[in-house]
């Protein structure tokens, strides 16, 4: 009960919380940036953003390696670097990006309502979400896994929750939260949901839950940040292809982002983005995924 109340308050806080524009002197601002330095089709989202020379990008801020608010107050990670690749291609300096925190549950709303221009936030492409938003990508394929304390030998995979005795934490509106419900005996007592993953980690530390479940790469970020404290409980048991969320009807912007991703797979910028961020945490990049131009 206390956890649920805390989660409700935390969700409201997260919704109200938006990071302000970076305002830093990024060295990677892009020498080709600037209005007029690129030309885009009249009336397109690309033209509008290039003319405005500003853009709002939805990311996570609590996920080491993908989107974690750094000491500078700006999020850092693979998703942030992928966003910068796209923004540079729009001819906008990356220090003009306003990063907006988009916890799992609010991503579709943030796109539909225009709170952000696109979302890069460990965002699994799936048919349910495609009813409300469109996805460019994928630019990475993760898989669901389980994180436990390093000395826990009792949880070895999703089947370990079937006896009804252990609690597992995940995030509201995420695919792993829905998926783990199939593996527990009693959802009401065993599945604890918050709005962000760092709250799940706090609940694990406090002994309120026995495990945290989400994508392997998010969990690997927490493992790397807390040497020796946690481990993965087994192998990945789902496929989570990460896409970039845009407005459902904006086919041109989606095509532009897909073209930009494909270019980044070729020119080394996608690999560099990985090596500089999540690649340091023991996860594999793998081969560039095939872009799905559905
Ligand atoms: N990739 C999964 C999802 O989009 C889990 C990670 C997250 O919550 O961002 O739901």
Q: How far is the CA of 2 from the centre of ligand 1 (A)?
A: 24
CA distance 231 to 22: 34
Task: Ligand 1, residue 240: give the atom nearest the CA.
Answer: 1
**CA neighbor of 144 nearest in space, from 154, 158, 130:** 158
Q: Is the CB of 59 under 6 A from ligand 1?
A: no
Structure tokens at 227: 């040497």
Task: Ligand 1, residue 63: give the atom nearest the CA.
Answer: 9
CA distance 39 to 16: 35
Q: Is the CB of 171 under 6 A from ligand 1?
A: yes
Q: How far is the CA of 25 from the centre of ligand 1 (A)?
A: 31
Q: Whose Cα sits closest to atom 5 in ligand 1?
A: 174
Q: How far is the CA of 78 from the centre of ligand 1 (A)?
A: 14
Task: Ligand 1, residue 60: give the atom nearest the CA.
Answer: 9
Q: 51: cis peptide before it, omega within 30°?
A: no
Structure tokens at 210: 């026995």
Structure tokens at 163: 């006896």
Strands of 13-167, DSSP E: 55-59, 62-63, 67-69, 75-76, 97-101, 118-119, 133-142, 144-149
Question: Which residue among 111, 171, 239 is best mutated to probe the pocket of ligand 1, counting the most ligand atoms within 8 A of its Cβ?
Answer: 171
Identify the pLDDT of residue 7: 39
Identify the pLDDT of residue 8: 38
Q: How far is the CA of 50 from the centre of ligand 1 (A)?
A: 29
Q: Is the CB of 240 under 6 A from ligand 1?
A: yes
Structural domains of the chain ordered from first start: 30-142+241-281 (3.40.190.10), 144-232 (3.40.190.10)
Name the stretches of the chain with pLDDT < 50: 1-31
Identify the pLDDT of residue 5: 38
Identify the pLDDT of residue 88: 98
Q: What is the DSSP letter of 52?
A: H
Q: How far is the CA of 104 from the centre of ligand 1 (A)?
A: 6
Q: Whose Cα sits closest to atom 1 in ligand 1?
A: 124
Q: How far is the CA of 70 from the centre of ligand 1 (A)?
A: 21
**CA neighbor of 68 nearest in space, from 201, 180, 206, 203:** 201
């Amino acid at each position: 009960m206390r956890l649920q109340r805390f989660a409700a308050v935390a969700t409201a806080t997260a919704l109200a919380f938006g990071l302000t524009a970076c305002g830093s002197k990024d060295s990677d601002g892009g020498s080709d940036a600037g209005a007029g330095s690129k030309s885009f089709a009249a009336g397109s989202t690309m033209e509008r953003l290039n003319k405005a020379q500003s853009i709002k990008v939805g990311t996570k801020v609590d996920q080491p390696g993908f989107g974690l608010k750094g000491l500078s107050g700006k999020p850092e990670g693979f998703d942030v670097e992928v966003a910068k690749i796209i923004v540079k291609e729009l001819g906008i300096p990356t220090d003009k990006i306003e990063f907006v925190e988009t916890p799992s549950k609010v991503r579709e709303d943030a796109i539909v309502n225009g709170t952000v221009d696109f979302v890069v936030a460990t965002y699994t492409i799936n048919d349910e979400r495609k009813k409300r938003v469109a996805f460019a990508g994928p630019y990475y394929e993760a898989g669901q896994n389980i994180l436990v304390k390093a000395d826990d030998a009792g949880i070895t995979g999703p089947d370990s929750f079937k006896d009804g005795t252990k609690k597992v934490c995940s995030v509201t509106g995420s695919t792993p939260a829905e998926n783990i419900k199939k593996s527990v005996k009693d959802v009401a007592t065993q599945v604890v949901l918050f709005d962000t993953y760092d709250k799940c980690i706090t609940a694990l530390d406090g002994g309120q839950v026995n495990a945290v479940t989400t994508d392997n790469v998010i969990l690997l970020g927490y493992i790397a940040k807390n040497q020796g404290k946690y481990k993965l409980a087994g192998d990945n048991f789902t496929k989570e292809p990460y896409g970039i969320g845009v407005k459902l009807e904006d086919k041109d912007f989606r095509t532009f982002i897909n073209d930009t991703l494909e270019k980044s797979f070729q020119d080394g910028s996608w690999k560099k983005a990985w090596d500089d961020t999540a690649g340091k945490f023991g996860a594999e990049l793998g081969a560039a995924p095939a872009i799905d131009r559905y």
